[in-house]
Structure 1
Amino acid sequence: MITQRACGVRRLLGVSGALVLAGAVVLAPTGPAGASLADLPAPTEQELRSSINDLDPEISDLDPTVDELDRSVTDADTTEEDDGETVVTLASDIFFDFDSAEINDAAADRIRELVGDIPDGAAVAVHGHTDSKGEDDYNQQLSEDRARTVAEVVSAERGDLEVEVEGFGETRPVASNGTADADDPEGRAKNRRVEIRYDS
C-alpha cells in the first residue's frame, strides 16, 4: 500500500494501483480484492488540488534548511579594511575539515574568486590562526599548514603576486576563547581563520 507520506495522495487510490506523479509512474500491488487502477473512480479536480495542498507544508519546511546553507556560504569569508590593508578572512571551520589543512575543490574555487580583486603585482601576506584548544606547538603547526595551503592556491591562480606565509597559532585571537569556567565556542570559531592581507 502507498502511504500518505510517500505520495501525499493515498486517499485518491483507495486501493493500491498505479499513480502518475510529477511525470513518474508509481506502481503498487493490487488491493486485497484484486482491484486494479481501471476499477478506481477518477479523482476529481478538488481532490487533486487538496492533495497538492497537503504537500505544501512539507515543501515549505525545506526553506529554513536552504536558508541555513545560504548563511554558511555567506559567512565563509569576509573582507574589510584595516589601517590601509584589505583583509580577507577565511573561516577555517568552513574551508577546512577538523584538524586538517586540506581544502576541497569548492573552497579552492572560492579562494580563486577572492584573489581576483588583488592589484597586479601586490605583496600578499597569508596568515594562519587557531583557537586556544590543544597544545601550543600543535596549534602553531596547524596554523602554518593551513596558511601554506591557502597560499598555494593564491600563487597558482595569481603568479604575479608576492606571497608570504606565516602562522601565529593561538597568539592573535580576534574574539574570546573562553575561560576554564566558561567556554566560548562562537569566539573560538572566529579565532580559527586564515587571513589574506594586501595593501588597499
Structure 2
Amino acid sequence: MFNLIRRDLILQKRQILIFIPFIAVFIISDSHPALIFLVASIFIPFNTYTYDEKAETNILLNSLPYTRKEIIASRYIGAIVYMGLSIGITSIALFVFDKPFTITDMAIGSGLFLSFVALTFPLFYIFRGKISMVIMIIFILSAIIGPPIVLYLAEHLTTITDFIVSLSIPALYTGVAAVILILYAASWSVTTIIYQRKAF
C-alpha cells in the first residue's frame, strides 16, 4: 500500500519542481499563513487525481496485487503524509521569506485541508471526467466567498457565536479536531464502498 503512496510522488516529480514557486507566489502576495498551508497541502493529492483522470489509472491499479480497500486507504493515508510534507516545506519557505506564522495557522490549514479532502474525495469516484476542474473552481470560490459568509453568520447567529466564545481554547480545538476526524473517517468509509462497487 505504501508503494502506491510512493508512486504518486514519483509520477509527480515534475509537478513537485513547481511546488516551491507556486507557494512562493502566495507568500510574496502576503496571503494568510493558514491559506498558504491549505493550498500547499492540496497541491500533491489533487494533482494525483487529475493525472489519474487523464490516464485512466484505476484500470491499472485494479490489475495490481492490491485490494480496492488498500487503494483507497493509500489515497487517504497519502493525503495525510503529503499534508505533513507540505506543511514542513511551507514552514521552511515562510521562515526563509521572514513571514510570521504560528502553530494555530498550521492547525487551521490542516483542518481545512482534511475537511476539504473528506468532502471531495468521494466525488472523484461518483463522477467521471473533469470533476477535478469543478472541485478546484469550487475551492477557489469558497476561498473568496467563504470568509464573508462566516462573518455574516457570526453576526446573525449570536447564540451559536456566544456558545463558541464561551468554550475554552483546549475544548474548542478538541471539539473541532474530533468533528474533522469523524468526517474524514466517514468519507474514507463512503469512498471505499463506492470504489468497491465501481466497474473499471
Q: TM-score, normalised by structure 1?
A: 0.32
When you count helix as a share of all residues, which structure comes out higher?
2
Larger Rg: 1
Q: TM-score, normalised by structure 2?
A: 0.32
